[in-house]
Structure 1
Amino acid sequence: MGMKWEGASCICVNDGKLLMVLQGTADEEKKWSIPSGGRERNESIEECGMREVWEETGYVVKVVKKLHIKEGISQNIQFKVHYFLTDLVSGFSVIQDPDGLIHDIRWVSLKELETLTLSFPEDRELLQSYLAPSEKII
């Protein structure tokens, strides 16, 4: 088996908009994603998610609940990404990503989310579900 990679992705919704970052290396097409990244030694997976949001967006969030885990194999690396629902605590939009891969930060509406080019298109429905007004039960 090849390498293993574990990380966290955070869904943060505020005023009906989703916190997203535009990411990519210098020579690739930039795509939108929720803040996410790999776990560092000695941090919990929740701490990883909160740190990544702070590094990539300048916002402090707290984990509300664990949503699900996405697992698979990409380029011979076995990956495991923990998805968290988070609440905005404080901060303002500033890119302080040590890897230099973040190019823009945006609070995205449901309508915008439909047209953005996503790093992980398979996440679109999940992300939309957190922005869509819940059906009122009559």
Structure 2
Amino acid sequence: MNYKIWNGAAAIIIKDEKILMVRAKNTNSWSVPSGEIEDGETSKEACIREVWEETGYYIAILKELHKKKIIIEDYKVTTTYFLGKVIGGQMSYHDPDDNIEEISWKTRDEVLGLIHNYPEDKQMIEGLLLGQ
């Protein structure tokens, strides 16, 4: 099979023992802010841009957490996950794709009860929340 390539970046932002998450339109599932790396961007730059577009927050990258490689339908997906912290902005929508329905800070207990858009991320998120 000929796979298409998709490279993205995702942000894990934790503040006051809560994690920043978004819910896309027409779905009940949640994810951390993420999106595709655009031409000329580094994965860090894409991560910072995506968080601002999807949540309205400006972030600083603290460190790279890991790379997820997975096949989704006919795509080979590589997503680089970063740990970041809010350094400015306020909760608001700037998403040019107009995909985001809801932005929320979720507690660990809330995360446990959510439907996750990427279920493979749930364990990592829980571990980071427990480590705070």
Same fold (TM over 0.5): yes
- AA aligned to 2:96 is P
Shift of 1:30: 3.1
Change (3 A) 1:30 1:101: farther
- AA aligned to 1:13 is I
- Distance in 2 (alpha carbons) for counterparts of 1:125 and 1:78: 22
- Distance in 2 (alpha carbons) for counterparts of 1:66 and 1:6: 15
- Distance in 1 (alpha carbons) for counterparts of 2:46 and 2:131: 29
- AA aligned to 1:60 is Y
1:47 maps to which residue?
45
| Alignment map for 1:83-98 (pairs within 5 Å) | 83-98=81-96
Question: As a proportion of its length, which structure holds more strand?
Answer: 2
Deviations 1:59-102 (A, max 9, x none): 00011101110002111111100000001111110011111110
- AA aligned to 1:7 is G
1:126 maps to which residue?
124
- Distance in 2 (alpha carbons) for counterparts of 1:50 and 1:133: 23
Q: Which runs of 4+ in 1 moved over 4 A?
A: none
Structure 2: segments with no counterpart, 5+ residues: none
- Distance in 2 (alpha carbons) for counterparts of 1:100 and 1:84: 23
Structural RMSD (CA): 1.1
2:11 maps to which residue?
10
Aligned partner of residue 94 in structure 1, secondary structure: coil
Change (3 A) 1:97 1:120: same
Change (3 A) 1:100 1:30: farther
- AA aligned to 1:42 is G
Count of residues paired in the alignment: 131
TM-score where L is the length of structure 2: 0.95
1:107 maps to which residue?
105
Shift of 1:133: 4.5
Deviations 1:6-51 (A, max 9, x none): 0001000011110000114xxx423100000000000111000010
- Distance in 2 (alpha carbons) for counterparts of 1:103 and 1:92: 16
- Distance in 1 (alpha carbons) for counterparts of 2:35 and 2:28: 16
Larger radius of gyration: 1
